[in-house]
Structure formats: C-alpha cells, structure tokens
Structure 1
C-alpha cells in the first residue's frame, strides 16, 4: 500500500469500472480531487487492486437519514478492494483506523450499497454498526458508523483500542527475518520496503506467532510488547528494539489441534511461515505454542534494548525472549515509544 494523489492514478484502469457504473458523477468527482491524497495497492502487472480515500469531516452529517450528530469524523470516501485471498481488506481497515486515531477524530463512518455484503461483513467485524441510510440519484446506501466513545470490552469489536485493566503485559521477542513480514507498519527505517509483500500474513490485523518457548500463563486479552531481536550487525544493546503492541486473542498448544491439517488451516493465513515450514513445525513433535493476536499499534519511536535497561529498568543479564512487564515498566515503554495515549484504555 502506498500513499499518492488522485492525479497519479489512472482513472481508465478497469478497476474503476464498477465505481463509474455505481456513481455517475464519479469521473468528475475524481478529477476534482487531483491534488488530494489517496492510498493504493497495485498488482504485479501495475493494475490497481486497492483504493482508499479518507476525509475528515466536522459537525452534523445531514445528507443521511437520520442525520449523524455533531462530531469530528473520518469519512471513508471511497474504498474498493480486490483481495484475491490475501486479506487485503483487513490491511485497509487497519489503515482507516490508523489515520482516524492520528487525526484525533471521534469516530469513522462509511456508506455502502447493500449488495456489497463482503464489505459490510468486514466493517461489522471491527465494530461498525448500521446507523442510517443515504438516498441519492445513485440509489440508497447503508451508513455504518464506528463511534470511538463506545467500547464493548471485546478485542475485535473495539480494535484498535487496548483494554489494559485486568490483563498482564509481556515482552515477546521475534527474529528480524520474520518481524516486518508479520508486522509491516513496524518496519525499521533501515529496512527495505520491498520485504512488505502483499500476502495474507502481511495484510491481516490478526497474526499468528509460533514458538517453542514456554509462554505459560498467557491469556486472552493480555498485552504483548513486540521486541525485534538484533540483526547481528551490531550489539543488541543498540540494535534490538521494541516496535509494536499486540493483544492476545488465543493461545493454543499442540494438543489443541486435531491433526496436522487442523493446525495448517489455523496458522496458514496469519503466519509468516511457509507451508513447508509449518509442516516442519508439526512434524518435529517438539513443544509448540501458537499465539493468535491482533496487531494494534506501531510505536512512533523505537526504544532500544539499551534504553529498556538504562531507562525502563529491565534486567541487563536476562534472556530477552518472553517475560512479564510490570505496569510501571509497561507505562514507561509506552511513553518512550510515543504511542497515541487514546489507544490504551482502562
């Protein structure tokens, strides 16, 4: 996914045919937005497979029935995705939330024709509810809203917000070769953008992390501070960093899967490992823990191992693989990482 402008996007691409058919004014509207930003994703042949236009609106929205009360909202102006099994829709939903949180708005709304059932399911999955209808010469659209002031306590419906009360916090290590493929918004400045491929595990909000180390005690709702191990090009004190926050949805062990096929079906869409690597995990017969988690936020500033030791007070002698953080340590890491304060709620 890249950020560009309308002027740099080819309106003659067949990708836009359905939008032109649904909205007669679409070509004129598109031309009027020439200098405005838009997110796009391309196929290998250069044709579009994703398009997202976002706009902040203030006050009452009165072209829908019933009107939306006064607030600052992010409007999903245009969204179209051709996912082809890559879960690209989740990647775009994450981008919508990231942009909305950064803009400091009160919520998000989107209008969708009823026949786009897949898109409606996607929005409902992440807490959007139908509030109104919008009637125009193009027909009647359903209006879905996500009010950030309304939280349910559910991990997925409240995403990307993180509920911390009653949940433990842990540091969890991940090797550099897997890190950015699994957590693409946490890419380091010195990493190539080319490694963020358009694959299921890259696009998903939900991630699967597989390990043999003991993660006993980890429960649904617990919070993970992801720690990217050193790449070996220098001392871990300077090159190992914490990059992002995830929330545990489920933890399984080998005994929780009926057989290899059950394991592969569970892990394949959300794991960075290839089919052969997943099979090798299973066939090894060794202890295996599978953590399914949501990818909630990337730190704006990456805190190094040295800072974790010298400033946060973590041990300089322990192995940095998996261990519990105190509330004070967790709060300090959030502050150093400059994560948006509104994301972590009680």
Structure 2
C-alpha cells in the first residue's frame, strides 16, 4: 500500500553531509575505517540507497556492489558473479524498511544476472541476521577483519527450495496450480501500483524494480479461494474502470506466489486478525475490524509479489491469444501454458523464472 513516508527513499551519490549525521555513529564504532571507506566511495561517485522517515531523519542506508571475487572469507565463496550487500543499516520503526531494502538487493541481483548474493555481519546484530535468514540467506562461514570476526551469509538464486518466502523473488512454473484473481481498480491502484516505480521517488527512476513490495494480503469472499495452497501461482487481473469496456480496460498486471490461505474464523481474536492483515493489506484498521465482526469475506490470501508485468495485457488478448474463457472472471483456473504466455507477452524479466 502506498505510504507517503516511502517517498523518502532515494538512490543517489554518497554525501558528506550525511556522513556527519549521528545515524552512522554505530557503524563508525563497529568499523574503525568506516569514515575513510565512505569518503573513498564518495570521491568515486558511487551510489547508495538512503531512507528518511517522516521527521526527515536518516533512518536507512544500503550500499550494493557487484563482484567476481571476494577476499578474506573462509571457506571461499563459490565461483561466479555475485552481489555484495556492502553496508545495510536501518532504524526500524515499524515501516518494514528491512524488507524494502532486501527487495532492492534482489532487484539489483536479477538485473545484473548474478548467481548469488552475500553479506557479512557481526553476530550481535541479531535482528538483521534474522531478516536475512527469513529471505533465504544461509550461514556460509566467517570473515576475520581488524574490527573482529563477521559471519557470512549467502543466498543462491537457484535452485528453488519450495518455500515462497525463501525463494523470493524467483519462481518456478512447473507442476504448480494456476489461478487468475480479479481485483477491483479502486483497490488495485493502492494495493498493487499499476506502474513500476509509481509509488517511488523520482530520484530513483533509473532503478528498475520488478515488485513494489515483498508481501501482500488480499481478503476475498470467493469460496474457491479455500482451494489455494502454498506455492500456487496467481495472475493478478485488474477489472475495468469503465463499465462496458472490459475487453480493452481489464488487464493482467502481475504474477504472484501464494504463501498461505487462511479463513477469518481461524483467528481467535480481533487483535490477532488485525495484526496479521494490517501490514500488507489496503484496508484500514476499522475496516478490518468490521470484516472480523461481520465475516462478510471469509478468506485471507497472503502472497509474495514476484513480478509486475512490464506490458499489461488487456482482456481481449487474454481471450483471443491466450485462450482464457470463463463466464465470470473473479477467481478462475489457468494452465501452465497460459501463465507462461502471460509472463512472456507481459515482459517478465526472464531471470525471475527458473524453469
């Protein structure tokens, strides 16, 4: 869901004024040579992501670097092109900024066709380590430095593990179940922004993002939703915004992977339900409370948002060229061939699909 504070995410050159901010004090404490390293990157004109929250204070910094060799790691890393998360620091304030930065690292990895991503981190930063582990990084070894021993974590981009979160952003299409899920335009515009980077700052238009966030939750009243299971593939379909023009204005927009499907009745309390759904849905807290009380929509679909289509595909083409036929386009089954056609015609980055 769009959030005005996210407009403070920028991809820009290293700045001397930012280095002077107290945000970097902990990094200067951890690494004696941090200021010298930062200045070297600034002179070279290198870029990093920075995030400023509502108070305009620096709350996040992410530097990424492509490499072919990496020194000082035991055991040595596997051969191949790799992306190093060189520096990542966040002040967490419930904004899911860590997830956002992880997504940016994945975007770069796919664009640059690297074989794996790695990061070195001191074990005392447990919350950061837990974040990497959640998204498929695995402990690899150690790196001894003048500042102490760091742990090394590695994420191979193939093969898949069969877990939608650990496999993100990549997905496999073989031997799955496939669905098309329709979403009304008034929800789609904030839930799944129609244009890549539509909800980003203009300062990072050069950065190609394939997704707008990692997780989404959709609440549905369609009984067939209970058929869905973890790993199922969904094509998101935005219904027409003008009655009578569905053939030209209803469009397929993205491909996602189901994490889990739950029923509202599976939550013991209202607060448990709101806590689960609020971070990744478009609904307000009051609307969610109403859903819980009245049980008007029974099914909660949580999925990873893997691929936004570069070319949205109108309903007419989905019928005439993809062969989709159904009396009612709300939640319908698709075939593997149809999903592959949508991914190909929609311009999904080929690096996102591994089979």
Instruction: Select 1:307's aligned residue among 301, 312, 317.
Output: 317
Give the secondary structure class of the aligned counterpart of 1:10.
helix
Q: Distance in 2 between matches of 1:189 and 1:95?
A: 13
Q: Distance in 1 between matches of 2:137 and 2:122?
A: 15
Report the counterpart of residue 258 of structure 1 in structure 2.
268
Asked if 1:56 is matched to 2:66, the reply is yes
Mean CA deviation greater in 115-124 or 319-328 = 319-328
Instruction: Select 2:20's aligned residue among 7, 12, 21.
Output: 12
* Deviation of 1:124 (Å): 0.8
1:233–1:4 Cα change, 3 Å: farther
Residue by residue, what CA displacement relative to the aligned partner does 1:66-106 show, whole Å, maximum 9, x if unpaired? 22132100000111111211221111111111210111010
Instruction: Select 1:138's aligned residue among 139, 142, 147.
Output: 147
Q: Distance in 2 between matches of 1:188 and 1:234?
A: 24
Give the secondary structure class of the aligned counterpart of 1:93.
helix
Give the secondary structure class of the aligned counterpart of 2:73.
coil
Mean CA deviation greater in 158-167 or 2-11 = 2-11
Preserved CA contact (<8 Å) 1:88 1:204: no
Asked if 1:247 is matched to 2:257, the reply is yes
Give the secondary structure class of the aligned counterpart of 1:160.
coil
Residue by residue, what CA displacement relative to the aligned partner does 1:214-236 show, whole Å, maximum 9, x if unpaired? 32422221111112233449944
1:116–1:135 Cα change, 3 Å: same
Give the RMSD, CA atoms, in angstroms: 2.5
Structure 2: where are the runs of 5+ without partners?
A: 1-8, 202-210
Report the counterpart of residue 103 of structure 2 in structure 1.
94
Q: How many residues align?
A: 335
Report the counterpart of residue 40 of structure 1 in structure 2.
50
Residue by residue, what CA displacement relative to the aligned partner does 1:17-48 show, whole Å, maximum 9, x if unpaired? 11122222222222222322212221122221
Preserved CA contact (<8 Å) 2:196 2:308: no
Q: Distance in 1 between matches of 2:167 and 2:264?
A: 30
The structure, 1 or 2, with the larger RCO (C-alpha pairs under 8 Å, 6+ apart) is 2
Asked if 1:285 is matched to 2:295, the reply is yes
Asked if 1:343 is matched to 2:352, the reply is yes
Preserved CA contact (<8 Å) 1:313 1:329: yes
Q: TM-score, normalised by structure 2?
A: 0.86
Residue by residue, what CA displacement relative to the aligned partner does 1:277-334 show, whole Å, maximum 9, x if unpaired? 101112223241111111222223222333323332333x733321111222111100
Q: Distance in 2 between matches of 1:297 and 1:313?
A: 21
Asked if 1:296 is matched to 2:306, the reply is yes
Q: Distance in 2 between matches of 1:244 and 1:299?
A: 5
Give the secondary structure class of the aligned counterpart of 2:272.
helix
Q: Distance in 1 between matches of 2:293 and 2:134?
A: 34
Preserved CA contact (<8 Å) 1:224 1:247: yes
Q: Distance in 1 between matches of 2:354 and 2:165?
A: 15
Preserved CA contact (<8 Å) 2:173 2:336: no
Q: TM-score, normalised by structure 1?
A: 0.88
Give the secondary structure class of the aligned counterpart of 1:99.
helix
